[in-house]
Chain A
Amino acid sequence: MPEPLTAPHVLEYPYTRSVGPVMGAFFAALRERRIVGVRGSDGRVIVPPQEYDPTTSEALGELADVADAGTVTAWTWISAPRPKHPLQRPFAFALIRLDGADTAMLHAVDAGEEQVMRTGMRVRACWREEPRGDIHDIACFEREPEP
């Protein structure tokens, strides 16, 4: 019996997404190498910002600057990155609570090797050379020397 035929089959969807005023402000700030969150009804700073309060559902809009450095609160090691991953060498996906923020943000940590990673480690954003106003303006986070 002859071998069955195979062929590459690529599905591509060229989506664009409207981001709204709050996420729009977050992305606009990234273009200026700044990170902003939004203040929730209980005073907590949510990063990335949300349009509506997670507990009261009221509309939010008071932006708050946070630092581009923070603390890893959780992480997982990616030993074999896939083509669309942010880094093409082993790295960590990590939840990072930025200084001034009360929530953690998911991003990549370029730690070199898994042994370096630990919960509580300090990291700082590495910015893309020409920011464009999307999440990839932060190329990754890197370990910050301990004080």
Chain B
Amino acid sequence: MSDPVMVIATPIRLDYTYTAGQASSRFLRGLTERKLLGQRCPECRKVYIPPRGSCPTCGVPTAEDVECKDTGTVTTFCVVNIPFPGQAIRPPFVAASVLLDGADIALFHLLQEVDVQQARMGMRVEALWVPDEELRPSMESIRYFRPSGEPDAPYASYKDHL
């Protein structure tokens, strides 16, 4: 009898076509001009970014475009220590929820130019955009966020956005 078979490869692949919709398409096209376009809910007045065309809390359409700043506050973060297939960056690195100035919901993005030990809630950060010729309708138009050097934001300023 030959060697037993211990494992078999069972790869799974799902091919989707993602359609962004009107609101998210506007957001994505804004990225090619280094603009961060959210939308404000007419009822609760919260600004969602990326916008989905409706308010997830009130369930009403959102129509008012609002430009957010490319600076913000780290609300939560995660230090990624484990390598996995398809990973673009060598661990350890920091993935952070960034509450952009002018937004009411955090964006998830990469945090770099910071020692992973130094990552913390309340840290003030700024977007590092790719050069003009690399700007595309994609979140990758922001290469990553990095510390802006400002003093940490007080907890009260983001406690309702966690």
Contacts and interface: CB of A to CB of B under 8 A. Distances in A.
A7 B18 contact: yes
A21 B4 CA distance: 8
Determine the interface band of chain B, counting residues with CB < 8 A from chain A.
20 to 34
Contacts, number: 92
* Chief secondary structure at chain A's binding surface: mixed
Determine the interface band of chain A, counting residues with CB < 8 A from chain B.
20 to 34
Interface in A33-57: none
B17 A15 contact: no
Interface string B1-31: 1111111111111111111111011001100
A32 B6 contact: no
Contacts of A28: 1-5
Contact of A10 (B14, B28, B137): B14
Interface string A1-44: 11111111111111111110101110110011000000000000
Contact of A84 (B13, B19, B20): B13
Contact of B6 (A13, A24, A31, A134): A24
A23 B6 CA distance: 9
